[in-house]
Structure 1
Amino acid sequence: MEGCKDSLPIVISYIPVAFAFGLNATRLGFSPLESVFFSCIIYAGASQFVITAMLAAGSSLWVAALSVMAMDVRHVLYGPSLRSRIIQRLQKSKTALWAFGLTDEVFAAATAKLVRNNRRWSENWMIGIAFSSWSSWVFGTVIGAFSGSGLLQGYPAVEAALGFMLPALFMSFLLASFQRKQSLCVTAALVGALAGVTLFSIPVAILAGIVCGCLTALIQAFWQGAPDEL
């Protein structure tokens, strides 16, 4: 129950964005059931907008899938990052359940909880927040897909604001778990991401930010640990 309660900020932001996805997918020619299928199985937030747009434009399934994988490569690091902070013993069956729902926002919420109070984190809490978030995303998609296309055409400002809700929520969770000693890593990640988006593309920027941040963290940890070993 605590996980479901803590998922409320995510649920509130997911429903309208998923609603917009459902509308957009049907506008691109996908059936309501196909739109809901994307949200149930892929469950990738902004990447769902990309893959539906690419498929509607005539791109092959493999090209669309590889593009989305490049955008979401950061998710490979979410599990190990959380595992390094978890002190409890994990159960494979439960871990598999919440790992599927490990989105940006769920990861940020879990990280914030582990930073504040490691011992209050549990897999049941994680399943609660992951399942509630996934359910709200599917629910929003169902409403949008079956409401008919073009419902937001007369409100372009509202449609644009919906796309900003997920990044804003993700940033709020990250700021809640931010510690001053992480400033150098965050700065390096921002510089890498900025260089990537300026010189190449958004997927490259995401990967560059991850690599720069991780390398800086490793160098910082080695540098701080070296005097102790000497």
Structure 2
Amino acid sequence: MQSQTAHDTCTTTSRATFAEGIFDSLPIVIGYLPVAFAFGLSAVKLGFTPLESVLFSCIIYAGASQFVITALLSAGTSLWIAALTVMAMDIRHILYGPALRTRILSRLNPRKTAIWAFGLTDEVFAAATTKLVRDQRRWTENWMISIALTSWLSWIAGTVVGAVFGNGPLDDYPAIEASLTFMLPALFLSFVLAAFKRQQSLIFAVAIGASLVGVLLFSIPVAILAGIGGGCLAALLQPRPAELKEIKHEQ
């Protein structure tokens, strides 16, 4: 009996804590701050007030999609089209919750789950998945809330600083402002290059081609939706490696 109690106590104390979540979120924070700064700067330059820029990060909290929605709204696109475009870009987040739930063995608290589910970004999802894969027993909702909350606050903090600097202080330093404005395209390019593989070349080609047709014949929102739809369709229709081997074998 005493041995069992000691084992339970050891297991409880070894579970991930709220403080550990703050420490584990530091790599995410380091990545979020400069991009959030660039967003705050960009939003203010597009005509939004610093308060509106911060509210985007507080409520939408969608990373690159915030750049897109501010650009669309500043160009005169209707709110509904801008919202639908961003929803299409972020539809992958629907899968994050179920994907984590299949790995979580413990019972979840609905209130705590609602908190960390709001902050379930790509990076937080990756950190949580890594924690669950390594040792499911160490994962806790307190740790999850901590890493999600710290990441969200860092994104807001970066936006605040960017919005303040975009409201005048950087006017005398055009080179710095230009380099920060280029940060988002550079970030996207790094993602594309990192994800590009030979077997995915058809998907990239279809997505880029559909986007070009959309922007040349219609508008930027149509180009974004066409690129997303074309890439997804190409991924669904593209033969799997096993199927390709069978086709080559038959030939």
| 1:153 aligns to 2:174 (yes or no) | yes
**Contact map agreement 2:21 2:146 (CA 8 A) in 1:** yes
Contact 2:210 2:226 in 1 (8 A): no
Q: Percent identity?
A: 57
CA distance 1:59–1:160, shift in 2 (3 Å): same
Against the structure 1 CA distance between its residues 48 and 82, is the aligned structure 2 distance closer, same or farther, given a 3 Å change threshold?
Answer: same
Matching residue of 2:131: 113
1:1-230 counterparts in 2 under 5 A? 1-149=19-167, 151=170, 153-155=174-176, 156-161=178-183, 164-165=186-187, 192=203, 195-200=206-211, 203=225, 206=228
Gaps of at least 5 residues in structure 2 are 1-18, 212-222, 243-251
**CA gap 1:43/1:213 in 2 versus in 1, 3 angstroms:** same
Tell me how large the CA RMSD over aligned residues is: 3.3
3-state SS in 2 of match to 1:154:
helix
What TM-score, normalized to structure 1?
Answer: 0.76
- Once residues 7 and 214 of structure 1 are traced to their aligned partners in structure 2, the CA distance between those partners, rounded to angstroms, is 34
- Measured at CA, do residues 33 and 113 of structure 1 come closer, stay the same or move farther in structure 2, by a change above 3 Å? same
Question: CA deviation digits over 1:78-135, x for unaligned, max 9?
Answer: 1011111111111100000000001111111111111122211111111000000000
Q: 1:205 to 1:124 in 2, by over 3 A?
A: farther
Counterpart residue identity of residue 52, structure 1: T
For 2:207, give the aligned amino acid: G
User: In the aligned structure 1, how far is the partner of 2:201 from the partner of 2:105?
Assistant: 30
Give the aligned partner of residue 178 of structure 1.
Answer: none
TM superposition score normalised by structure 2: 0.70
